[in-house]
């Protein structure tokens, strides 16, 4: 009999991880907006049999400029929705939300939570001159969790932090190639390049969709670190360890938003290169 990591609100008696109905439950994925779609794509690729629920909290984006109590409130509302749908695990596909609430939620709720954080460790394996730039939101860079993460590596590498206000908003609007997006990228990247960084970490899931634009600005010798796939790989390991991974059948993806359905659908179409059905989050 496996240990029961479920809380009383999610199971009772023998209805734990051994319960097939629970194991067949969907995986909840959320972000302040559409940035987490970069994570969703890798999850669907690695776990094609899983049913996925994606929530873009676009009506309350971005999280990067919000205080922690507000982020916790929004994250809790979305988490409660996922639990009402029988979700077996939840992916917080947002660096800011991960930094703010993941440890608290892991303690309060009885299912696994997978979070994201800037990929400093893989950046250390890539850098040759030990100068690493971190592009992230102000909320991520000012969080206690990020401070603890960066302190673990600061003796081994020079970390240069660059807050990027407005950049996630451009992605949220689907304006990947707009003049304002390129202007912001050139501004923030020039500040990092002046520090002679040879590796840049994309510390926000929204920025993953700007990889092509970034590569046109930086030198080919500069490494980019995007942890979207690593998050999906960690989810696979967690599901396998808990005997929750589905290995047969075709999985589905349901998309929800708290913002404008039409605007979110149009942005998702640009980012995913396909039409999707977007529903209003109940």
Catalytic residues: 94, 204
Exposed, middle or buried by CB within 10 Å (0-12, 13-18, 19+), for 270?
Answer: middle
The alpha carbon of 134 is separated from its chain's Cα centroid by a whole number of angstroms, namely 16
What secondary structure letter does DSSP report for 50?
S
Give how far the C-alpha of residue 149 lies from the chain's centroid of Cα atoms, to the nearest Å: 17
Of 84, 119, 83, 81, the closest CA to residue 98 belongs to 119
Distances (CA, A) of 203 to 42, 46, 209, 224: 17, 22, 12, 11
Instruction: Say how many CA atoms lie within 13 Å of 23 toward its Cβ.
Output: 16
Closest CA to 6 of 89, 92, 84: 89
Contacts with 230 (C-beta within 8 Å, 6 or more apart), sequence order: 119, 122
């Amino acid at each position: 009999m496996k240990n029961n990591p479920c809380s009383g609100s999610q199971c009772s008696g023998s209805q734990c991880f051994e319960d097939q109905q629970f194991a067949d439950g969907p995986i909840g994925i959320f972000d302040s907006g559409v940035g987490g779609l970069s994570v969703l794509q890798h999850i669907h690729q690695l776990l094609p049999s899983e049913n996925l629920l994606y929530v873009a909290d676009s009506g309350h984006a971005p999280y990067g400029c919000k205080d922690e109590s507000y982020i916790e409130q929004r994250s809790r509302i979305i988490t409660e929705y996922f639990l009402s749908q029988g979700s077996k695990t939840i992916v917080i596909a947002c660096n800011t939300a991960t930094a703010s609430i993941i440890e608290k939620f892991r303690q309060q709720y009885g299912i696994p939570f997978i979070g994201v954080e800037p990929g400093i460790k893989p950046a250390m394996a890539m850098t040759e001159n030990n100068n690493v730039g971190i592009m992230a939101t102000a909320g991520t860079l000012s969080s206690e969790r990020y401070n603890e993460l960066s302190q673990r590596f600061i003796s081994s590498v020079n970390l240069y932090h660059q807050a990027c206000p407005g950049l996630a908003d451009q992605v949220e609007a689907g304006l990947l190639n707009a003049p304002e997006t390129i202007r912001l990228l050139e501004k923030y990247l020039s500040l990092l390049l002046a520090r002679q960084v040879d590796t840049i970490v994309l510390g926000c899931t929204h920025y993953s969709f700007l990889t092509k634009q970034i590569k046109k600005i930086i030198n080919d010798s500069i490494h980019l670190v995007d942890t979207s796939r690593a998050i999906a790989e960690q989810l696979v390991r967690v599901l396998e360890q808990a005997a929750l991974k589905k290995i047969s059948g075709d999985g589905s993806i349901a998309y929800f938003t708290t913002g404008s359905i039409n605007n979110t659908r149009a942005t998702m179409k640009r980012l995913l290169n396909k039409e999707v059905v977007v529903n209003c989050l109940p």
